[in-house]
Amino acid sequence: MPAIKHRTVETNGIHLHLSEAGEGPLVLLLHGWPESGYSWRHQLPALAAAGYHAVAPDVRGYGRSDKPGAVEAYSMKNLLADYTGLLDALGEKTAVVVGHDWGAAMAWNSAALHPERYRAVVGMSVPHLGRTPMPPTQLFKHIFGEKWFYILYFQEPGVAEAELEADIPRTMRTILAGVPGFDTTSDVVRARKRGDRFLTGLDAPRTLPSWLTEDDLAYVVKELEGSGFRGGLNRYRNMDRDWEELPELATVKIEQPALFIIGEKDPARAMAPVDLMKPLVPNLQEVLVIPGAGHWVQQERAAEVNAALLDFLKKLPA
């Protein structure tokens, strides 16, 4: 399989570290929380072997990319500008954009707000739901009331960082291989009360699932020991700012060809109904639910995700 190469490029006033492979039409792969471009390690060589230039940046705040200090540096507008600037730095007018988790939101919004730069879009785990009827934190407070909810817990700078960084190997083992604190379908998470934390009541499993090796986990841990969690958490702290800055998301439609992939057991299915996406993405060609898969779908079921991606890409207009 084609080798994965690494380099750093300047875009939008910061430096992004890239993992990339292959030559051909550009496929931009955007990761979610709390990961890095390493989460696309199975897709990069497969896309390259099929004749594409696959590029997976470490999103600002993660891995070996720059980590600005200000909370507002992680607004959606800034992140989207990173990627249009990256296309410019790579000498490309257009790309297919693919995203997972927060990367999915970035991918959907990139396609919605910069349609001239993105000829197709693939989202994984998180559907495109446009703009909420009120600022997101107000909506979450309305829905959850006095109950604990991880996005509200993440809002106060420094609090979640202190918890998650206290023992990063345990944190990542729990999030990737156990029950993560964002799983609102879990009885442990649902039973939480104010004052509880993201890892309260959760155990780090001794045995890893077959899709995650000890070496994989060690790589992710090393990256987060270098970057910390602040940049990734600041993404959550911009949700109300995004709501104010991007009112056009209430009405704009994604007209490009689109694909949505989600694991059958992904807790995101309970939080974000896929059917709400369909009017906003009229050219949604398929909703692929992968049986037995959880949230980390492109890692858990790499072969199936790769096959779906390549089939989607092959059908796109030249």
Tell me, what amino acid is at 154?
Answer: F
Helix residue ranges per DSSP H, the chain: 43-49, 76-89, 102-113, 136-144, 150-153, 159-165, 168-177, 187-190, 214-227, 230-236, 239-245, 268-271, 297-300, 302-314
Catalytic residue selected from 82, 101, 183, 266:
101
Q: How far is CA 208 from CA 205, 212, 224, in A?
A: 7, 6, 19
Cα(40)–Cα(19) distance, rounded to whole angstroms? 9
Catalytic residue selected from 17, 31, 42, 295:
295
88 in catalytic set: no
State whether residue 219 is helix, strand or coil.
Answer: helix
Give me the phi and psi of 259, to 5 degrees please.
-135, 140
295 in catalytic set: yes
CA gyration radius for the chain? 18
Is 154 buried (19+), middle (13-18) or exposed (0-12) by CB count in 10 A? buried
Cα(157)–Cα(119) distance, rounded to whole angstroms? 37
Contact in structure between 232 and 33 (CB atoms under 8 Å): yes
| Active site residue ranges | 101, 295
